[in-house]
Amino acid sequence: GAGVSQTPSNKVTEKGKYVELRCDPISGHTALYWYRQSLGQGPEFLIYFQGTGAADDSGLPNDRFFAVRPEGSVSTLKIQRTERGDSAVYLCASSLMSGGGYNEQFFGPGTRLTVL
Amino acid sequence: DAKTTQPPSMDCAEGRAANLPCNHSTISGNEYVYWYRQIHSQGPQYIIHGLKNNETNEMASLIITEDRKSSTLILPHATLRDTAVYYCIVRVAYTGNQFYFGTGTSLTVIP
């Protein structure tokens, strides 16, 4: 079956521009997560959705970052006024449920964002 | 969530067992040990997890010490495709399910 997909796979933008990164989770997975991974580092948690609502957005670095999941499936990570420090691979993961017990997170391939 | 300490890199000969250590001396009684790996240019992949007892699945074995302050991931017969960064994570099972990755161990399997 289809795994987690992310588009675009690569995005190059200029400092100050707005970008949107899309995540299509595995069908039926109610939990969705965004992570950011800088070169040589492990993934860093950004935000987690349970259904349509953001259950934990404590990892978002500042108010330039925002994510939505309006219908409880596809999610979009939005970054305003991009800065060079935002350059990283943005990973999305989904799992069957959350809040009780362990549920394996399935990761997508990531979107590589480069801010010039 | 408790912090983990892993060696930054390791080598292993192809066909031999790869033993990847993880120290989690501040682990709490309700925190699980999880292992994920990340092959170059891919997203992380779940390997195994455990609480107290040793665990084994088709990918690997997880050995947790009796005091739970450290653990070892064992890949019994390493192949070149096992070359990856391996992350040891400790986390309470009933929180928001996000993982706090460290920098992991970069395992290189040598032909």
Tell me the per-residue pLDDT of A33-81, one tens digit each, with 9 for 90 and over. Answer: 999 999 989 999 999 998 899 888 999 999 999 999 999 999 999 999 9
Say what the pLDDT of residue A85 is.
96
Separation in Å, CA of A37 to nearest CA in chain B = 10
Single-letter amino acid, residue A54: A
User: What is the number of other CB atoms lying within 10 angstroms of the CB of residue A2?
Assistant: 8
Residue B70 reports pLDDT greater than 90? yes
Preferred mutation among B87, B98, B101, B105 to probe A, highest tally of A CBs within 10 A: B98
Say what the pLDDT of residue A100 is.
56
CB A107 within 8 A of CB A93: yes
CB A44 within 8 A of CB A59: yes
Say what the pLDDT of residue B97 is.
63
Tell me the per-residue pLDDT of A79-104, one tens digit each, with 9 for 90 and over. Answer: 999 999 999 999 999 988 755 556 78
> What does the alpha-carbon distance between residue B74 and residue B9 come to, in Å, rounded to a whole number?
15
CB B98 within 8 A of CB A44: no
Residue B96 reports pLDDT greater than 70? no
Q: A-chain residues within 8 Å CB-CB of B41?
A: 109
Cis peptide bond prior to A43, omega within 30° of 0: no
Q: B-chain residues within 8 Å CB-CB of A42?
A: 85, 87, 101-104
Judged by DSSP in three states, B82 sits in helix
In which residue are the tokens 């240019």 written?
B41
Judged by DSSP in three states, B51 sits in coil
Q: What is the mean pLDDT of residues B93-101?
A: 69
> How far is CA B34 from each of CA A31, B91, B98, rounded to the nearest angstrom?
18, 8, 12
